[in-house]
Structure 1
Amino acid sequence: MTESKETYNLSTGAAVDYDVGSATAINTGSGGALHRINKFFLLDSASQERYSNEDLDPVPPEKRTWNARHSSVMAVGLSWRMALLCIALANIIQGVFIVINGVVGAKYHIPFSIQARASFGYYLAYVMIAMRMIVAIFWYGIQAYTGAECVQSMIFAIWPSFHNVKNHLPVSAHITTQFMTAYVIYFLFCLPLHYVGVHKVKWLFLLKSITTPIASLAIMGWIVHKAGLGQNSLFDQGNTKQGSALGWAFMASLYSNIGSGVTLMVNAPDYSRYSATKYSHFTTAVAVPFTATIITFIGVVAASGSKVLFGQILWDPLLIINHWTSPGGRAAAFFCAFSFFLSQLGLNIAANSLAAANDMNCLFPKYINIRRGQFIASFLGSWALTPWNILTSAPAFLNFMSGYSVWLGPLCGILVSDFYFVHKQKYHVYELYNFHGMYRYKYGFNWRAFLAFTIGWVPLLPGFIPTVSNIKSVSGMVHLYDLGFFYGFGAACLSYYAICYIFPAKETYVDAPVYMVEDNVSFDDLESSSANEKSST
């Protein structure tokens, strides 16, 4: 039995005369016919250019392979109990918002760069995409430096004489021959993972989720065995601040820990789009706070023992395992360093290289796909930015980039507000790929989103500027900055909804969601089908 033919005009509701056999034709009123084959929609390429490519298109079913299993605050005056509470709460918030914003990717199988068009408009979305791309490339370089530290510890475990490698680089280079060797090894190890594609490296995320807790427990067990948890440990340290000072120190630490995960909140659709079901990524809401809290507790135990054993607090577990010099200890040190290496590698791919690649893919779809984008991000972040110089001689720039949640918080708030409250989870995905579609807004610019975005970040500037300059701060503005994510996200989210309620963009509303990818149909198949239909007529 063949499918009955239906024809619509989305602009007027009138029927159109367009025969595509058993498929459905929809006239969008924008100069192009919309073909439906097995519920898969595509703009007719002959009548309207499509600014997209295979990696930017909604993920086809065969690539939806991700299932549920894949997915120092004490220094500011907090006790270990308050520090654990702060980190646990921060990661609960991160996990919840990653899931909330990831729903659009799991439902429509589109990345953040396409999602942003629905709320910001075609051209304003490019500004948000470029902003996040720069941040992702920067943090890729910083994470590469951390990854090189893991590699260096692995080499120490295999070849102890590596400690004595002579440095042939000048002091002005801010890096030694020894560390540069580890850095190059890390960089070369990353390249194949950027080549195979994100939907094929889910094993990395599963592996690191198993090995990292084991390695952390091993370090904690060694510390407890050697040092115990008696007097003079961090567990004897209480809060060194009291009253309102303690409260604001807690909020500043909470904001700092949430801020480190805002990139993952924003680019959650970049990996949730590969979900096999709409609910595969929901485990993030539990996995993120659980693992982060456990690892943090283990870190407190290890740091406490390091104070007893070495006379100083070592928050970096790599510095602890570098003291394991016996043959058996070196084997354990290698395993722990390798586990942390996998964990850091997974984070760098999920939060940075994939995010930057998707952004470049959207900005230059004709020339850059996700694979090329990841290579470009890798080279720019690892070498062009020279992270060893930033970490050793550019503290102001590092503070500036650490405060990026000033802008990404409001961005995330607008995305959530638009999807859930303004458009009520109803997007017309075809139109998101249509340069002249309903989500273009006037001149490609949605002033509602721009106004809400401005409301979300401008009041935080007086508290942010003193962190990167010598300008004196006003206590009230600093306290508002300490609430940065909550204010930025909340103000942008609520103001965007209010503005859209008063001045609705009714042309962007649809009665029911329209999906693009179903039943194993690819863009190439549809384009070929369209060409065959036209040639036959």
Structure 2
Amino acid sequence: MTATAPPPAGGQITDAEGRVELAPGAIPSDERFYNDDLRPVPSAERTWRTYNFMALWVGMAHCIPSWTLASGLVALGMDWRQAVFTIALANVLVLLPMLLTGHAGPKYGIPFPVLARASFGLRGANLPAMIRAAVACGWFGIQTWIGGQGIFVLLGGVFGADWASYEKIGGQPWPLWVCFLLFWVLQIAIIYRGMQTLRRFENWAAPFVIVGAIVLLVWMADKAGGLGPLLDQPSQLGWGADFWPVFFPALMGMIGFWSTLSLNIPDFTRFGRGQRAQVWGQTLGLPTTMTLFAVLSVLVTSGSQAVYGEAVWDPVQLAGKADSKIGLLYALVTVLIATISVNLAANVVSPAYDLSHLVPKYVNFRTGALITGVVGIVIFPWKLIESPDVYIFTWLGTVGGLLGTVAGILIADYWILRRTVLDLPDLYRAGGRYWYANGWNWRALAAFLVGGVLAVGGSHTDAGVQGPFPEDGLIPFLKPLSDYGWAVGLGASLVLYTLLMRSVVRRGREPVAMTG
């Protein structure tokens, strides 16, 4: 049986509900590792309830990319049952690390980069934080561009504008750039007001978006006189030998879609009233919502097949076919709210905290959010999604493998080795038990390197498809593992980190005396 870490020496207090906070007078003064945004949230300010977490997931799941996930699987040859099954299973699987890493939030009130200090070290935690931040910045830019396109298309329908006749800048009509930039400003303005403003926005955005999706289904079913022929179309893969080579990469890709949040979910759960709120809120919010959205996507697209003679997978393009301006305006508002909801929660909160963690003295949450917004523009997101199939599946698979590796280390450290017992003051203190070797834990770095190579070393591009990886894989003999990147990365790093750290934690050798 793995021994637990020795109990903290002091400087923290625990209330009757098991919530831990810094004791009076124990607030760290080292500006290299502490600011008001990285501090543990006091117990009195941990106010999010079950509904708040459910609303958070409803708001994040109901976005244009998640709508098209099911359609992408059908395009690969699955029928609607196989597509919905794959998405439902993926979200049940990713829920487990989500709940495990989320546990530290309500208990200690700390964000993801501070939790990572326990395993990677006070300075080493910047490695997983910056990886997570880079991914989020990329997604923020992509989602903002998609949202701007949605506004552009729907406004064109409302005003009857012939966008093709407008002067083009960079190959795009200038009103599209205006929509993109206005949408960018609106998002930054909301998140700049802080996490409580985001909570209130998610609370009312969630039911609004659900109603919008159902309205779209009712409208399409009415026009189609039924749900169309798609439900009756057989799978091109069957359930035999042709299905599994597609299923497992697709499953890992679907897990990769939310693997980013499985790391930084403490950024949200740190505001939870207790474990019950975050466990029930996430369990009721994530798998159910994603599955429902997949079903709605397939059913609505089925109706479009019957009405227009072709499957219209993009909800913006479909809404643009509405006959009335009122319908177009309603669709415009729904797309606007849905995209803002997911983009702020999934792609701005994390890098805002991660960048603040990099230089706490100079960057706070608001400054981090602004930096995220700027990076989201300068990466040219309109270029990244020019080849959406290659980008989405390659991107999700590769990123999922790396982030699964980090998740394995966090789970091993917090649950297996420390049994959820952390020394809160030492998470902010140079020379404490998480200082390791000058702020870096080489064991976590080794586990990350090995797990990462195993997870993504075999990444490849399918034959006949133009992509960033060689057909035989970056490391050919690892190619068979590439279809299971997230699971391989998580499992390998979890086992290796546990083995490397077991004697260290058992002997209590984490303070300064341990130099390597």
Q: 2-side partners of 1:223 and 1:292: how far apart?
A: 20
Match of 1:190 in 2: 187
The structure 1 residue matched to 2:251, chosen from 242, 249, 254, is 254
- 1:316-335, aligned counterparts within 5 Å? 316-326=314-324, 330-335=325-330
Corresponding residue for 2:514?
Answer: none
Contact 1:263 1:408 in 2 (8 A): yes
Q: CA distance change for structure 1 residues 289 and 337 in 2, over 3 Å: closer, same or farther?
A: farther
- The alpha carbon displacement at 1:481 in A equals 1.4
Residues 508-527 of structure 1 aligned to structure 2 (within 5 Å): none
2:499 aligned with 1:498, yes or no?
A: yes
**Equivalences for 1:119-518 in 2 at 5 Å?**
119-156=119-156, 159-164=158-163, 166-170=165-169, 173-229=170-226, 233-242=229-238, 243-282=240-279, 283-326=281-324, 330-381=325-376, 383-392=377-386, 401-402=395-396, 403-466=398-461, 468-469=467-468, 471-473=470-472, 477-504=478-505, 506-507=507-508
* Among candidates 26, 50, 73, match of residue 42 of structure 1: 26
- 1:30 alignment counterpart: none
Cα 1:207–1:150 change in 2 (3 A) is farther
CA 1:107–1:323 in structure 2 vs 1: closer, same or farther (change >3 Å)?
same
Kindly provide the CA deviation profile for residues 505-526 of structure 1, in whole angstroms up to 9, marking residues without a partner as x. Answer: 633679xxxxxxxxxxxxxxxx
After TM superposition, the score normalised by the length of structure 1 is 0.81
Change over 3 Å in CA distance of 1:141–1:37 after alignment to 2: closer
Q: Distance in 2 between matches of 1:188 and 1:49?
A: 30
The answer (yes or no) to whether the contact 2:435–2:510 under 8 Å persists in 1 is no
User: Do 1:223 and 1:302's aligned partners in 2 also have CA atoms closer than 8 Å?
Assistant: yes
Distance 1:12 1:138 in 2: 39
1:123-158 Cα offsets, whole Å, 9 max, x none, are 22112211111111111101111221332244245x
* SS of alignment partner, residue 135 of structure 1: helix
Q: Which amino acid aligns with 1:166?
A: S
Corresponding residue SS for 1:201: helix
Q: Is the 8 A contact 2:21 2:108 kept in 1?
A: no
CA distance in 2, matches of 1:50, 1:443: 13
Aligned with 1:56: secondary structure?
coil
- Structure 1 window deviating more from structure 2 (441-450 vs 292-301): it is 441-450
Bigger Cα Rg: 1
Greater Cα shift, 385-394 or 292-301: 385-394
Cα deviation per residue 1:213-234 (whole Å; 9 max; x = unaligned)? 2111111111211114476x21
In 2 relative to 1, CA 225–43 (structure 1 residues): closer, same or farther, beyond 3 Å?
closer
| TM-score where L is the length of structure 2 | 0.84
Correspondent of 2:38 among 56, 64, 69: 56
Is 1:66 the equivalent of 2:48? yes
Question: d(CA) in 2 for partners of 1:464 and 1:291?
Answer: 30
How many pairs are equivalent?
Answer: 472
Amino acid of the structure 2 residue aligned with 1:53:
N
What CA RMSD, in Å, does the superposition of the two structures yield over aligned residues? 2.8
Residues 396 and 93 of structure 1: is their aligned pair in 2 closer, same or farther, counting only changes over 3 Å? closer
Cα deviations by residue, 1:55-89 (Å, 9 ceiling, x for unpaired): 11111345433221122211111111011111111
Aligned pair in 2 of structure 1 residues 138, 126: CA closer, same or farther (>3 Å)? same
- Match for 1:298: what amino acid? L
